[in-house]
Amino acid sequence: MNEPFHQTDLEVAFRKFHSENPHVYDKVKDYTFMAIGRGFDHLGIKIVWERVRWFHYIETVADDEFKLNNNHTAYYARMFMSDHMEHEGFFRTRSVRTV
């Protein structure tokens, strides 16, 4: 018998954040494609995440309530590689731990 799919609390929080803030993934994609365009074969998602953070807090008028949680980075990396299979492996990922 198959066990039901279980989402971790982190994944549930990510999915909620992503559904409420789709523009964040747009920036993740923009900056990742910039790096790919510059010839990078691999990059850490954290450098992209910090660039998104810079954009939000420095280049725009930031809403103090808006936070970019570091727990979401692994999910954005996986989402990008799933959506753009030609770049599978661009971000190095680890297996997801369940609680």
- Write out pLDDT tens, residues 58-91: 777 666 667 889 999 999 999 999 999 999 999 9
- Position 90 scores a pLDDT of 97
Residues 6+ apart with CB under 8 A from 41: 90
- Position 22 scores a pLDDT of 92
- 0.95 exceeded by pTM: no
* Average confidence score pLDDT of the chain: 87
Using H for helix, E for strand and C for coil, what is the string for the chain?
CCCCCCCCHHHHHHHHHHHHCHHHHHHHHHHHHHHHHCCCCCCCHHHHHHHHHHHHHHHCCCCCCCCCCHHHHHHHHHHHHHHCHHHCCCCCCCCCCCC
- Position 1 scores a pLDDT of 43
- Write out pLDDT tens, residues 39-49: 999 999 999 99
